[in-house]
Structure 1
Amino acid sequence: MLTVGTNMPTPLYARYQIEFGFSPLVVTLVFAVYAGALIPTAMLAGALTDRIGYRRVAVTAVVLAATAAALFCLADGVAWLFAARALQGISVGAASGALTVALVETEPSGERARASLLASVMITGGGGIGPVLSGFLGQYAPLPLRLTYLLELALLAVAMAATTRLPRQTRPGARRFQLPRIPATLRGRFALACAVSVLGWAVVALFLAMVPSYATAIMHRHDLLLSGTAGGLFLLFAAGMQYALARGGTVTSPATGLLLLTAGLVMLAVAGGTRSLWLLLAAAACGGAGQGITFMAALARVNELAPRSSRAEVLSAFYMITYLGVGLPVIGVGFLAAATDLLTAVVTFSVVTAPACVLVAARVRATWADTA
């Protein structure tokens, strides 16, 4: 429910631009403030979760998410969007590690791999549903900038009911804030898992923040459902790939996922030059499948490595670094789009990121199996 709501604004930014009169650069900054709020929250929330328990942290996160939805619903200027996105970032920064720990520790048979799968499918699948749902409501329902968030508030009420049923959990230790710490013996393997995750989520950020407008530029028409589908399809394919691999019992190397991301970026760049909607959708499908593999593998590796006494701390550090990959590249793309144009900015991002995926894939092939 949290990740559905987090990505609901994605196709609506075009409507906000018309209503509030701001540039594409502001769109990227509104998107990026989410990561800017999430990262310091994740820095603090991991240690706090390890001390006071995941239930208390998760309940607070749902309350903050509902407050953000209310701000979106009441928004009459761009400042409201910044405030709402910041609260969404704080909410997800607090909840990501806490709810992943909750899945790991409440899994009936203690299977970390199954818990990791559920966490990654919920994050990616929810993120993909949000833009498609809000795009449909924005295009065809009344009150397009209000009804979406009223629906989100209803979903968050369900989330709160579920969260309050989590076991109460308090661990001994001083309730003090500290930066996440990674045990020295894990740092090399942890860093490689983070690199895999960062690349996947950097491409997600591009699809969520810029590809809806990119699709509009390719098609020369405004359609919120099309924009939402272009952004959300990426994450829906990611979730589908994760489920399919788990269902089939298939173990796929994250290097394969990185190479699929590379192919998706190439197709995305070519789609802009040829103005092909079908190639854009193919890029979303291919890149989404790659992201599904990379995130599932990276999260499973971190869950496997993390000691129980500091699992939330290690997971929060993982999410914190991952969301750097969400925030920083999309800001750069926004500034480049302001200086040139949107198509040039997206192509440039693709040209820079694709080789990075190939290099990390080579590193994974050489060392991932050896570090298991």
Structure 2
Amino acid sequence: MRLAYADTARTDLLTPQPDSRGRWRFWATAYTLLILLTGTNLPTPLYRDYEQRFGFSPLVVTLIFAVYVAVLIPSLLVAGPLSDAIGRRRVLLPATALAVLGALGFALATNVVWLFAARIVQGIALGAASGALTAALAELEPTGNRRRAALVSTVASAGGLGAGPLLGGVLAQYLPAPHVVPFVVEIALLVPAAFIIATTPETRPNVRWRPRRPSIPAGMGPIFAFSGTVTFLGFAVVGVFLTLIPTYVTSLSRSHNLAVAGAAVALLLACSALTQLAGYGKPARTLELSGLPLLAGGLVLLAIAGQISSLAMLLAATVAAGAGHGSVFLGGLTAINHAAPVDRHAEVVSTFYVIAYLGVGLPVIGVGFLATAAGLLTAVQWFSAVVAMSCAGMLIVLVRRGQRAEPSVPHP
């Protein structure tokens, strides 16, 4: 009887048993990721106002965004392996406190130095949290389904990226103190996130921490080479939308409504999130095959929209590019999540996010320089042409490689 009981208990431990508490922790962790990303993108529709208020150029806007990425990446590389070793909570609670501090920096900003400082703090916070939260979602998924965890992670990420500009634009446009209220709301939303982190049990493996350079476990090189590249291209588009497209939209629409500027960026990320939901259960290769043409097509439409001053075509470009981003991002993270070793999961995800955030931060600097020298329209058109051709090249590579060996996972 004792042996039979032991066998039964062991089977129960090996087979994930979903319960209400487990589901609550999983979705609460997704909320935390969503809110952290929302906060980092609240300033997006306000940058044009900041330009006029503090007197700086579009290049400075891209540098404010780039410095955020510059600190985010080292934070990812340190905090990802650290959370594998000491536990998610010990990394995530300080990260949440830093997110509050970053929001305060924006609320109190009186010059451009405050903006740089606030973005630096936000970058450290999100870098510390991204890998740990993504790994925690995979560990807390009630049925052990890593593909579903990847979907929730990417949808929460895209949702936060899109909700930030929309929420920031609406609050700034229709409530008093437009440069303060959005960040007070963000701080209020971070309070339950901190409670969630504090009450979630640790799920860490027992591994030793040491600072690491970006690294790829043996056997994952081909996955990182391809999926990382297409993810880089997808996030390059997101970076330009987050920094310069609000100004592009106001020029085409001849409207200075902050909600409209934020809504254009939100539309991109909403389409990304919806595409990820529609693509759930599909192999990574299928997602990338559909995402690359959509991304390239959206960029072509974006360039044409500026040339003919068509707001309708700009919206069509946004929908196509958002759908393309969602497909390539979900495909890449699904492949990475599936192949990552358990004891290095947060580290591997953090390295993947390094590639994504390099896509957000590096190309936009070049676009900012070009916009300052030749004008925003020319800069966006050149960017669109280069990235669209790169997407076409990666699509050719993917087709020639043939079908990737990957287990088929049915829809739930």
TM-score w.r.t. the length of structure 1 is 0.96
- Structure 2 counterpart of 1:273, from 289, 307, 326: 307
- Structure 2 counterpart of 1:227, from 257, 261, 281: 261
The whole-number CA distance in structure 1 between the counterparts of 2:149 and 2:384 is 32
Partner of 1:165: 199
Partner of 1:58: 92
Query: 1:74-101: CA deviations, max 9, x gaps?
Result: 1001011111111111111111110011
Partner of 1:354: 388
- Give 1:250 deviation, angstroms: 5.0
Partner of 1:134: 168
The whole-number CA distance in structure 1 between the counterparts of 2:123 and 2:398 is 30
- Structure 2 counterpart of 1:105, from 125, 130, 139: 139
Are the equivalent residues in 2 in contact too, given 1:47–1:180 (CA < 8 A)?
no
The whole-number CA distance in structure 2 between the counterparts of 1:229 and 1:342 is 19
- Give 1:171 deviation, angstroms: 4.0
- Structure 1 counterpart of 2:338, from 269, 280, 304: 304
Range that drifts further, 285-294 or 37-46? 37-46
Structure-2 change in CA distance of 1:366 and 1:39 (3 Å): same
Are the equivalent residues in 2 in contact too, given 1:189–1:371 (CA < 8 A)?
no
Query: 1:313-360: CA deviations, max 9, x gaps?
Result: 111110011111110000000000111100000001001110101111
The whole-number CA distance in structure 2 between the counterparts of 1:277 and 1:331 is 25
The whole-number CA distance in structure 2 between the counterparts of 1:170 and 1:359 is 40
Are the equivalent residues in 2 in contact too, given 1:52–1:170 (CA < 8 A)?
yes
The whole-number CA distance in structure 2 between the counterparts of 1:44 and 1:222 is 41
- Give 1:175 deviation, angstroms: 3.6
- Structure 2 counterpart of 1:33, from 47, 67, 90: 67
Partner of 1:200: 234
- The RMSD of aligned alpha carbons is 1.4
TM-score w.r.t. the length of structure 2 is 0.87
Q: Which runs of 5+ in 2 are unaligned?
A: 1-34, 407-412
Range that drifts further, 53-62 or 257-266? 53-62
- SS of the equivalent of 1:184 reads coil
Partner of 1:124: 158
The whole-number CA distance in structure 2 between the counterparts of 1:296 and 1:129 is 19
Partner of 1:186: 220
The whole-number CA distance in structure 1 between the counterparts of 2:214 and 2:55 is 40
Mapped pair 1:264 → 2:268: no
Are the equivalent residues in 2 in contact too, given 1:237–1:292 (CA < 8 A)?
yes
Aligned pairs for 1:42-53 (under 5 A) are: 42-53=76-87
Mapped pair 1:317 → 2:351: yes
Mapped pair 1:4 → 2:35: no
The whole-number CA distance in structure 2 between the counterparts of 1:350 and 1:337 is 13
- Displacement over 4 Å in runs of 4+: none
Which amino acid in the other structure matches residue 299 of structure 2? L
Are the equivalent residues in 1 in contact too, given 2:84–2:209 (CA < 8 A)?
no
Which amino acid in the other structure matches residue 373 of structure 2? A
The whole-number CA distance in structure 1 between the counterparts of 2:405 and 2:355 is 20
The whole-number CA distance in structure 2 between the counterparts of 1:6 and 1:142 is 21
Aligned pairs for 1:10-21 (under 5 A) are: 10-21=44-55
- Give 1:173 deviation, angstroms: 4.0
The whole-number CA distance in structure 2 between the counterparts of 1:219 and 1:169 is 49
Q: Which has the higher contact order (CA 8 A, sep 6+)?
A: 1
Partner of 1:255: 289
- Count of residues in correspondence between the two structures: 370
- Give 1:366 deviation, angstroms: 2.9
Q: Which has the larger radius of gyration?
A: 2
The whole-number CA distance in structure 2 between the counterparts of 1:10 and 1:270 is 24
Range that drifts further, 31-40 or 298-307? 31-40
